[in-house]
Amino acid sequence: MSGATVEHADAFGHAYEPWLFQTMIDELSTGELGISFVYSVLELLAERHGLKDAVVVITDGAMGPQAFRLGRETVDAEQLAKLGSIPGVYCDPDIVPFGERDAVHTACRLSLSLHYARYSAAHDPLTNIANRRYFDTALHTAAVQSSRYGWHFTLVLADLNGFKAVNDSSGHAVGDDLLRTFGFALRQSVRRGDTAARIGGDEFAVILSNAESNEVSGFTDRLSSRLAMSGKSVAFTIGTASSPRDSSNPDELLRIADARLYEKKARDHA
């Protein structure tokens, strides 16, 4: 990129501002564009022009209007009422040229969109835990590490009991609420480094890192306790498979855990 020619924007042009372009390149070399970049750009803008304050309002189709203020400060209600949902960059004092404000606004909007897209690609929108796509990758990675280094992990599949009946009798809104409750309890129950995912309608999966199957009870106790605290009646059944003891093949682990889950369900119904 060092050989690229970057021209200044004219008064109303949309060309990249060189400083902004360089900041984006720097950010991309160390990570990914996201919300932090928005704040970094506001800091740099304020520094360049000696601003007391700066706010960028971004209208993103997926999230609705979003205001970001210099220093991660809250935009007070009066200021927000003045700005409303008008996209743009607002500076105090108002001395930043249009072209530069346009470029900053475009870069911030791009960063927020990228962050949202990245987050959405890996998360289930209803429960905010990992989605099937992310889970498959995480399970594959864990299986490879288990096979190569002998690292232990346990796969837990969980299925809500009687979920279909709840959905059919009480409606999808009540069913969704149960899924959200269960997803949230899962997030509260896993340890840092574990992965919780929703992999189907009412099917959830957890990768418990560095855990054998006899250590699953600690996790299920935490989960039951969190569900009890939610005040909602959510019963579930689990099936587990451990690596490398049961297998180090992700598909095989899923099959084993699934078979154990349905064995348990059948026993409970008998």
Partner 1 sequence: MPPTEEDFELELRSLPGVLNVGMGHRENGDVDSVTLIVHGQDPGSIQGVALQIASLYFPDAVVTVEDADLDTADRIGENGRVALVRAAFEGPENACEVQLNFEGAIGTGRSSSGPLIGGVEATLAALRDLGFDVPYHLIGAVNVATERGWPVMVTLRSNLHDVDRIGIAQSDGDLASAAKATLDALNRYLTLPRNFRPRGS
Site for partner 1 in 166-195 (CB under 8 A): 184, 187-188, 192-193, 195
Task: Fill in the per-residue mask, 23 to 62: x = in contact with partner 1 (CB under 8 A), - = not in contact.
Answer: -----------xxx--------------------------
Does position 157 bind partner 1 by CB under 8 A? no
Cα dihedral 68, 71, 72, 76 sign: negative
Does position 64 bind partner 1 by CB under 8 A? yes
Question: Which of 88, 244 has the CB closer to partner 1?
Answer: 88
Q: Would you say 21 and 108 are in contact if contact means Cβ atoms under 8 Å apart?
A: no
Does position 113 bind partner 1 by CB under 8 A? no
Least separation in angstroms between CB 183 and partner 1: 11
Distances in whole angstroms, Cα of residue 84 to Cα of each of 74, 77, 81, 109, 149: 15, 10, 5, 17, 55
Task: Fill in the per-residue mask, 193 to 232: x = in contact with partner 1 (CB under 8 A), - = not in contact.
Answer: x-x-------------------------------------
Q: Would you say 205 and 127 are in contact if contact means Cβ atoms under 8 Å apart?
A: no
CA distance 209 to 195: 8
CA distance 232 to 160: 13
Task: Fill in the per-residue mask, 75 to 104: x = in contact with partner 1 (CB under 8 A), - = not in contact.
Answer: x-xx-xxxxxxxxx-----x--xx------
Distances in whole angstroms, Cα of residue 224 to Cα of each of 229, 233, 261: 9, 10, 17
Least separation in angstroms between CB 182 and partner 1: 13
DSSP-derived letter for residue 68 is E
Question: Which of 75, 107 has the CB closer to partner 1?
Answer: 75
Classify residue 98 as left (phi > 0), alpha (psi -120 to 50) or beta: alpha
Q: Which residue ranges make up the site for partner 1 (CB under 8 A)?
A: 10-12, 34-36, 63-69, 72-75, 77-78, 80-88, 94, 97-98, 115-116, 119, 122, 128, 130, 134, 138, 184, 187-188, 192-193, 195
